[in-house]
Amino acid sequence: MAKSSGPKKTTEVDQAYLVELLKKLDVKLQAKALNGGFDSLVEKINSIDESLRDPDVGVFSRIKNNDNKIENVVSSIKESEDKIVEINAWKKELYAKDGFFENNKLDHEFVKKLRAVVDKLMWAILLGLAGLIVQFAKSIYDAYVTGKISH
């Protein structure tokens, strides 16, 4: 009987062990992670993935859109830099020794000198006219006083 009691003990231990394992497995199967938890986790991951990859409002599309905007800004900055170089060259050309402003400066100086001469000439003409008017008035007065003019 010793032989028969040995396997029974092993079987009883194995059964008790298996019962304990089944209880633990049942507890784990009842847990939220295995009881629909992974499904909701997968759904959440899928929604995150969709929000990342959505072509209209997803993060990747926003990044791509911002990259396009940055490229546009960079190209407009390069165009502005080219225009600034052109404007600086034009400015140097205007201020050169034979440039527009230098020629106008010389023209301005000539006009100032001409204006001074014209002013002096005008004063001379006005003074001459004033002298003639005074002379005419004097001759009329002299003629009236001396009586050469009839009353």
Indicate whether 63 and 106 sit together in one domain.
no
3-state DSSP assignment of residue 22:
helix
In a domain, 3, yes or no: no
Distance (Å, rounded) from C-alpha 1 to C-alpha 130?
166
Question: In this structure, are residues 34 and 41 in contact, taking their beta carbons and an 8 Å threshold?
Answer: no
Does position 115 have pLDDT exceeding 50, yes or no? yes
Segment 122-143 mean pLDDT: 93
- What's the domain count of the chain? 3
Task: Provide the pLDDT for residue 85.
Answer: 92
Is 2 part of a structural domain of the chain?
no
Same-domain check for residues 107 and 150: yes
> Does 41 lie in the same domain as 63?
no
What is the pLDDT, as a whole number, of residue 131?
95
Rg, Å, the chain Cα set: 56
Q: Are 16 and 66 part of one and the same domain?
A: no
Under the banding of pLDDT at 50, 70 and 90, the label for residue 74 is very high
Q: Which domain holds residue 90?
A: 57-95
| Model confidence at 83: pLDDT above 90 | yes
Residue given tokens 């911002």 in the structure block: 66
